[in-house]
Amino acid sequence: MVANASGQPDLRGEPRLRLQGINKSFGAVQALRNVDFEVYPGEVVGLVGDNGAGKSTLIKTISGAYTVDSGSIYMDGHKITITSPQDATRQGIETVYQDLALCDNLDVVNNMYLGRETTVGPIPVMNEIEMEHRTIEILKTLNVKIPSVRVPVAQLSGGQRQSIAVAKTVLREARVVLLDEPTAALGVAQTRQVLNLIKRLREQGLAVVVISHNLADVFEVVDRVIVLRLGKRVATFDVKSATSANVVAAITGAEFEAGENAGMEVNA
């Protein structure tokens, strides 16, 4: 179910992606403790928590970089297993990591298609014309503005490069997009570009998960905030009724004053 007429995601249907009772340990460190998680089509979820809370581990279990010790994963209500990045890709789960997997010396088109070039004719030759058309089309749909799709990405700004990495997930027909600190290295104007792009992903009905420690960014772009603390999901907020003070209190484990926890649902 995509966003309804009011532009809000419909949280009553089946989540696009649902995790249930996820546990993940690294030796003696239990990075994820019985974590439930859900994101709906047309929804942006902010995943927040202090350093070491388990955010990246959660993203990496969804993207197939790590396998879970126990727990279940569902896509559109169907149970799936993710034991490799290929499994995740097959399910339409695409991840944009902070250290972008772009090749500086290649142009935008070739970066978009890196790893899955379109071929034409009996001998596999990249169909540059088609790749270029499709790149231009996707960037236009997402309102990403760059001087040319034929410049090496090294010549683009940080915001433009991050936008290319996100656009690549759309090219790969993502249904779930995971972004780990997408604006961490960006200035104000470039952050704005990326936040606008995230809004466009939502408009397209994708389920989007954003890790960020910048609560201003989180409040601007997400629908719900899920808080992890020491590997546990401890709170969920609807951003329409929560304040950043509420979220900070959940992140740090501070006690709430009565009446201050508007929009909060305690998950501990």
Ligand X SMILES: Nc1ncnc2c1ncn2[C@@H]1O[C@H](COP(=O)(O)OP(=O)(O)O)[C@@H](O)[C@H]1O
DSSP assignment of 126-184: E-HHHHHHHHHHHHHHTT---S-TTSBGGGS-HHHHHHHHHHHHHHTT-SEEEEESTTT
State the nearest-atom distance from the C-beta of 55 to ligand X, in Å. 3
State the nearest-atom distance from the C-beta of 88 to ligand X, in Å. 17
State the nearest-atom distance from the C-beta of 57 to ligand X, in Å. 3
Residue with tokens 């009772």: 21
- Count of residues interacting with ligand X (CB under 6 A): 11
What is the contact mask toward Mg ion in residues 5 to 44, using x (rule: CB under 5 A)? ----------------------------------------
Which of Mg ion, ligand X, none interacts with 182 (beta carbon under 5 to 8 A by kind)?
none
State the nearest-atom distance from the C-beta of 55 to Mg ion, in Å. 5
Which of Mg ion, ligand X, none interacts with 85 (beta carbon under 5 to 8 A by kind)?
none
Residue 56 engages Mg ion in binding (rule: CB under 5 A):
yes
Q: Which of 5, 26, 121, 188 binds ligand X (CB under 6 A)?
A: 26
Residue 212 engages Mg ion in binding (rule: CB under 5 A):
no
Under 8 Å between Cβ of 210 and 44: yes
Rg of the Cα atoms in the chain: 19
* Footprint on residues 29-68 left by ligand X (CB under 6 A): 29, 31, 49, 51-57
Which of Mg ion, ligand X, none interacts with 49 (beta carbon under 5 to 8 A by kind)?
ligand X
Which of Mg ion, ligand X, none interacts with 41 (beta carbon under 5 to 8 A by kind)?
none
Under 8 Å between Cβ of 59 and 95: yes
SS3 16: coil
Distances (CA, A) of 69 to 11, 72, 153, 178, 253: 28, 10, 39, 21, 26
CA dihedral 21, 48, 18, 139 (to 10 degrees): -150
State the Cα–Cα distance between residues 219 and 216, nearest whole angstrom: 5
State the nearest-atom distance from the C-beta of 169 to ligand X, in Å. 20
Q: Are strands 176-180 and 93-96 parallel, antiparallel or unpaired?
A: parallel
State the nearest-atom distance from the C-beta of 117 to ligand X, in Å. 32
Nearer residue to ligand X within complex by CB, 53 or 242:
53
- The residue at minimum Cβ distance from Mg ion is 56
Give 70-114 as a 3 state SS string.
Answer: EEEEEECCEEECCCCHHHHHHCCEEEECCCCCCCCCCEHHHHHCC
Which of Mg ion, ligand X, none interacts with 26 (beta carbon under 5 to 8 A by kind)?
ligand X
Which of Mg ion, ligand X, none interacts with 9 (beta carbon under 5 to 8 A by kind)?
none
Looking at residue 24, its amino acid is: K
CA dihedral 185, 187, 189, 194 (to 10 degrees): 10
Q: Which stretch binds Mg ion (CB under 5 A): 3-11, 21-29, 52-60, 143-151?
A: 52-60
State the nearest-atom distance from the C-beta of 18 to ligand X, in Å. 20
State the Cα–Cα distance between residues 103 and 113, nearest whole angstrom: 11
Q: Note the residues at the interface with ligand X (CB under 6 A).
A: 26, 29, 31, 49, 51-57
